[in-house]
Chains A and B, each alone.
Chain A
Amino acid sequence: MLKVFFLLLGIISLEQEEKLIIDITSPKYKPVKVILESSKDTSSISEMIKRNLKVIGYVELVESSPDVLLSLSKEGDFFVLKGFFGKGKDPIFILRAKSESPTAIADALSNQIISKITGLKVDIFGRKLFFLSNEEGKKEIYSMDFLSGKREKFIQAKSFIPFFSVSPDASKIALVHFNGKEYSLYIADSSTKKLYTTSIKFGMFLSPYFSDNDNLIIPWNDGKGANIYVLNLKEKSFKKITSGNSDVMGKITPDGKSLIFVSGRLGLPQIFVKDLKNGRESVLPLSGNYNTSPDISPDGKKIVFSKLEGNRFSIYIYDFDRSEERPIITNFGSAENPTWTPDGNFIIFSSNIDGDYDLYITDQYGNFKNKIFDTQKDETMGFLK
């Protein structure tokens, strides 16, 4: 029985049938071997799809003996991608896409191919990737369409930008800029690039985080130590929510009930949870004496974080329901600053395994770890929006 539905993505429409699922949670997991065939009028889109699929390790592009054969053709205004288990067999799925933008077609089909193969709802291609790069000898914010776009500097820093955050709707960017004496906070309008700052002109602002489009969670050291504050951009209010004098990296859980933050109040950094209703704080029961950089999964059930092991960072996931942690990236240079992709399926992190820091993508089981791009310049702190 053919199961057909339409996915509208801008001016794109897709039709698809049935599912092919590999178990990415299995220890015996292996990538699916795929051949992607194209015709003359679909070859450029086919190349873009191949580039996309290469970065997600669930698919291995091969020359022969595929598990799945993909065939991209053009039927009228539609680009049609059919998936087969073998030549001469009925298609296991059919995807149809239409758009004036070849990149949009390739991104939408790529998301759907990975979704078909894994059963996950994948939505990463075509989104915007923001990151810090040392391309011009100082840390500045760059962005690019994932993976098709060119890198573009967001704003010219006068000195350097150690930290930044992007609002969920990507309309605002909060950034910390060293002004020669202090670390100042700025809010930038993403489209106009106009910059705004607050009347707080002293102290040291640290890593900002948008809990929603109007509320910024921001650690601020007023000269006594760093505590976490909420800056409400609509109300123009600033409220202290922790008092540990060494509290940074605050993030609010999706249900709005808890604050996850890092504090050095026990000596070395550890990850804490604060109940925002009763104010009670507790340290997460994690192994090791140095845990930092937590990022909450979109469903709020897990955090991904960095653990210092020896002289290098590894990446772990802590599951709130099971109250247990598990490593996903170890012995891979120093793996730092992990962040979830908005669909909750993947994790972007930086590692210096090749000398300089590059951005990598993995899944929540560490099934693969692939470099997103390589510039020989330090790239860190990647956020997909």
Chain B
Amino acid sequence: MKDVSLSDVAFSKKSWFLFFVFLFIFSFSLSNCAKKIPQAELDAAKQALERAKSVGADKLEEYKTAEKYYNDAQSLVKEKKYDEAKTKAIVSKEFAELAIKRWQEELERRRKEEAQAPKEKVEIQEEELTYGKPELPVLKGINPNDIEGTSTLGRGYILKQLRKIYFDFDSYSLTDKAKSDIEYNVGILKKILEENPNVSVLIEGHCDERGSNEYNLELGWKRAQAIKRYVELLGIPEDRIQTVSFGEEFPEDPCPPPQCNDESKWSKNRRGVFVITVK
């Protein structure tokens, strides 16, 4: 029994030694763990982002922040800064989940609003189809040679010096070129509007022939609105600006797919047109 006991003591000393060795290796491994790609955190963040996108929360700022953190995390992984990447991935997931929560709250708010939306009374009366007779403005200070022609459905004049504003496919964002062309146009328009108090600028939004008629009518409206907002920012008063969408109804260079597949034609059709019309 005693031997055994001695042996136990001896083993115990060895055990302590091994324990410290193990502790050293474990600590070393732990420190090494932080040097590994935080794949689980990255995957969790990615899944949360996908979930947020699938429910429609990707328009929220929280989603954009989550996306930024996720991209940062990926960049940090490339730089082998795994600790920081891990933190960014965790924060990305938190923001993506916050975006989902906010979006659900927003949907709930809309649901309540719709449920409580009053039935507005409308009058329904007999009336013929109307179409305001196109009335072309009499322009002061404009050389007739500067008039390129009348606009879609003859609502006003298109002037040679006014630039058309072009858009990317399926986009209503103003590119740098579009902004500079609008700035150029506004410089000319200010003078025309000042000399002709009875005229307005009409902004037409057009699309190429890809997509459905409805979607393109909405897209043309968004394009006209985007131009209008920038024109207003540049100092033209709102009551001198009109907008209209023609969707894909009046392409400048018709190219109906799939028979026609010519980006150079489509790009001409994705346009905003400035028209001088009666106020």
Contacts and interface: CB of A to CB of B under 8 A. Distances in A.
Nearest to A159: B131
Contacts of B120: 237-239
Interface in A333-354: 333-334, 336, 352
13 contacts: A139-B249, A157-B129, A180-B134, A180-B155, A197-B125, A200-B122, A226-B218, A243-B110, A280-B111, A283-B56, A290-B211, A308-B211, A313-B212
Given A207-B214, A249-B214, A336-B212, A195 B128 contact: yes
B111 to A, nearest CB: 4
A199 interface: yes
Interface stretch (A52-60, A265-273, A361-369): A265-273
A313 B257 CA distance: 9
Contacts of A265: 56, 59
B191 interface: no
Nearest to B109: A243
Interface in B104-160: 107, 110-111, 113-115, 117-134, 153, 155
A128 B81 CA distance: 71
B214 A292 contact: yes
A162 B217 contact: yes
Given A155-B129, A180-B131, A226-B218, A162 B213 contact: yes
A248 B121 contact: no
B32 interface: no
B8 interface: no
B264 interface: no
Interface in B255-271: 256-259, 261
Contacts of A268: 170
A238 B126 contact: no
A304 interface: no
B119 A237 contact: yes
Contacts of A200: 122
B245 interface: yes
Given A336-B212, A355-B259, A179 B121 contact: no
Contacts of A139: 249
B210 interface: yes
Contacts of B257: 311-312, 334
A239 B119 contact: yes
Contacts of A179: 129-132
Contacts of A233: 124
B185 interface: no
Contacts of B65: none
A171 B80 CA distance: 72
A183 B58 CA distance: 31
Interface string B1-24: 000000000000000000000000
Nearest to B225: A223
A98 interface: no
B10 to A, nearest CB: 69
How many chain A residues sit at the interface, stated as a range, is 35 or more
Return the 3 tightest CB-CB contacts between A and B, nearest first. A158-B131, A180-B132, A311-B257
B44 interface: no
Contact of A236 (B123, B128, B131, B133): B123
A359 to B, nearest CB: 16
Contacts of A242: 114
Given A237-B120, A280-B111, A262 B256 contact: no
A162 B217 CA distance: 10
A310 B258 contact: yes
Contact of B259 (A155, A183, A266, A352): A352
Nearest to B117: A240
Given A194-B126, A236-B124, 8 more contacts: A181-B244, A195-B128, A196-B125, A199-B125, A206-B218, A249-B214, A269-B211, A281-B107
Contacts of A293: 212
Contacts of A187: 124
B212 A231 contact: no
A279 B212 CA distance: 27
A44 B201 CA distance: 61
A274 to B, nearest CB: 9
Interface string B213-228: 1110110010000000
B256 A334 contact: yes
